[in-house]
Chains A and B, each alone.
Chain A
Amino acid sequence: MNSFDYVRPATIPDAISAAAETGAVYLAAGTNLLDLMKGGIARPNRLVDITRLPGLDRIEHLSDGGVRIGALVRNADLAHDQEFAQSYPAVAEALLSGASAQLRNAATVAGNLLQRTRCGYFYDVASACNKRQPGAGCDARGGENRLHAILGWSDACIATHPSDFCVPLVALDAVVEIEGRNGRRDIALEEFHRLPGDTPERENALEPGDLVVAVRLPGEARTFSGHARYLKVRERTSYAFAVVSAAAALRIGDGVIRDARLALGGVAAKPWRARSAEAALAGASPGPAAFRQAAQAAVADARPSGDNQFKIELAQRIVERALALAASDAPERIPALPASPFSSVRGVFHDV
């Protein structure tokens, strides 16, 4: 790990000015940052510790039915907040399907948004990586790339964003609250992460010094609470990143889908909102035919970036299954194996 200066500001304005300088980064729990620093992938010259900043660790249920989640709320605390889990079950399930209990106890909401890709070539400093070193090339192309992107990738970068949490959030129109040198602004989560294009090193909309202070869900997000699920295929059932995941949320009335929300994880450099699939579902009768059509729409633009053609078929199957699970009644509590297609919930079949 390189040496760095450590500062612990007491106010948000002080934090922003300390972090606006070149080479400075924010430190919250550090569960991703310290790992990157130990590997020499991140080499900041200043850590601005934001863990003592006031007012960033609250979950506020708003009068319009929405919720405002402070940037420093820990993943486990959010997932186990009873009102939150009942109102946004797919978000809670996604949180509990990620990482391990120890990491969820530490990792923060904003840190989840800002975590870096787990592409092995990004992590290996002996490999060429345009994201780590612009212009260096991409060893993932032509390398071990069966887990890489199938949507929105470019010749410069085929890495995926690893978050589970962001997938239902983007489906439910989450908004990111940012405080910066020019005051406060909101950005839709869908616009927060960037696709790689020719500049894969630019991963999000943040400018120097910008601090994510909260994530908000609008009141409408709660109207999907009866029919929302997150489903995640992993190479082992627990403590693994998604090969492909999907968040599905439906509003059903009189036997018809009134509104649908769908997003995919593990497929692109950002949580991938599948709006054409949502359009295909609106007004349809919930059932296998509609779910298949939506799944096909969700991957219509997908193409393999390497040895990962299988992820396109897998994504379709996961979307169909997530929609079918969402259409049935939501489980009374989060399953023992959160988001697993091999869930041990009674009555759910186990074959994929």
Chain B
Amino acid sequence: MSLSLSLTVNGAVRTIALDDPRVTLLDLLRERLQLTGTKKGCDRGQCGACTVLVDGRRINSCLALAVSHDGADVLTIEGVARGDALHPVQAAFIAHDGFQCGFCTPGQIMSAIGLIREAQAGDDPERIREGMSGNLCRCGAYSGITAAVLEAQKSFVQADRRQAA
């Protein structure tokens, strides 16, 4: 069976021919498009390391069948910085030591970007922790992660205010 699909990945249109429908979005990104920033942790939707944004929403790419997402707009960790300028969430993770080994970090950052876009948590650390519970960190950097998301959230609010003014 030959299946053709087209995705916009980090702003660029990619057309991919698949010989097998079993390929997940995660494996497509890593193995076919060589975008290995998105990590394969559990591969079963339990750890969040594979989090990407699809049409602006964070999902587990390991539980998404690639062919089913034909036409989607995908944002991965490779697409969030502007050249050498880090995305504010990336900068906040560095400023607050929101990681140790770094394996879960791309998923944490994509999840945090999704969380801030959802605009449900605000500046409540309890709601941020709850909203980030789908991302596990074996190093236990959770307190730095929460601080980073909190700061990034505030900088987004300030940027919005500047834009509105």
Contact = CB atoms under 8 A, between A and B. Distances in A.
Given A4-B22, A101-B111, A101-B131, A38 B43 contact: yes
Task: Name the residue among A5, A239, A337 with the largest chain B CB count within 10 angstroms.
Answer: A239
A105 B68 contact: no
A309 interface: no
Given A101-B118, A238-B133, A239-B133, A34 B126 contact: no
B60 A31 contact: yes
Q: Classify chain A's interface size.
A: 20 to 34
A74 B20 CA distance: 27
A5 B1 contact: yes
A4 B21 contact: yes
B133 A105 contact: no
B39 to A, nearest CB: 14
A125 B50 CA distance: 26
A34 B124 contact: no
A38 B62 CA distance: 10
A106 B60 contact: yes
A30 interface: yes
B144 interface: no
B63 interface: yes
Q: Classify chain B's interface size.
A: 35 or more
A3 B22 contact: yes
Task: Name the residue among A76, A106, A337 with the largest chain B CB count within 10 angstroms.
Answer: A106
B120 interface: yes
A332 B41 CA distance: 38
B40 to A, nearest CB: 12
Interface in A322-352: 336-338, 344
B1 A336 contact: no
B134 A102 contact: yes
Interface stretch (B6-14, B51-59, B75-83, B96-104): B51-59
A38 B60 CA distance: 15
A4 B68 CA distance: 14
Given A101-B114, A103-B60, A106-B64, A34 B3 contact: no
B134 A31 contact: no
Contacts of B131: 101
B106 interface: no
22 contacts: A1-B22, A3-B22, A4-B22, A6-B21, A8-B68, A27-B65, A27-B68, A30-B64, A34-B62, A34-B65, A38-B43, A39-B44, A49-B65, A80-B118, A99-B134, A101-B58, A102-B45, A102-B48, A102-B111, A106-B60, A337-B126, A344-B126
Given A6-B65, A34-B62, A38-B44, 10 more contacts: A3-B22, A27-B65, A30-B63, A34-B63, A47-B21, A101-B111, A101-B118, A102-B58, A102-B114, A105-B114
Closest 8 CB pairs of A and B: A100-B134, A6-B21, A238-B133, A336-B126, A239-B133, A105-B57, A336-B127, A106-B59
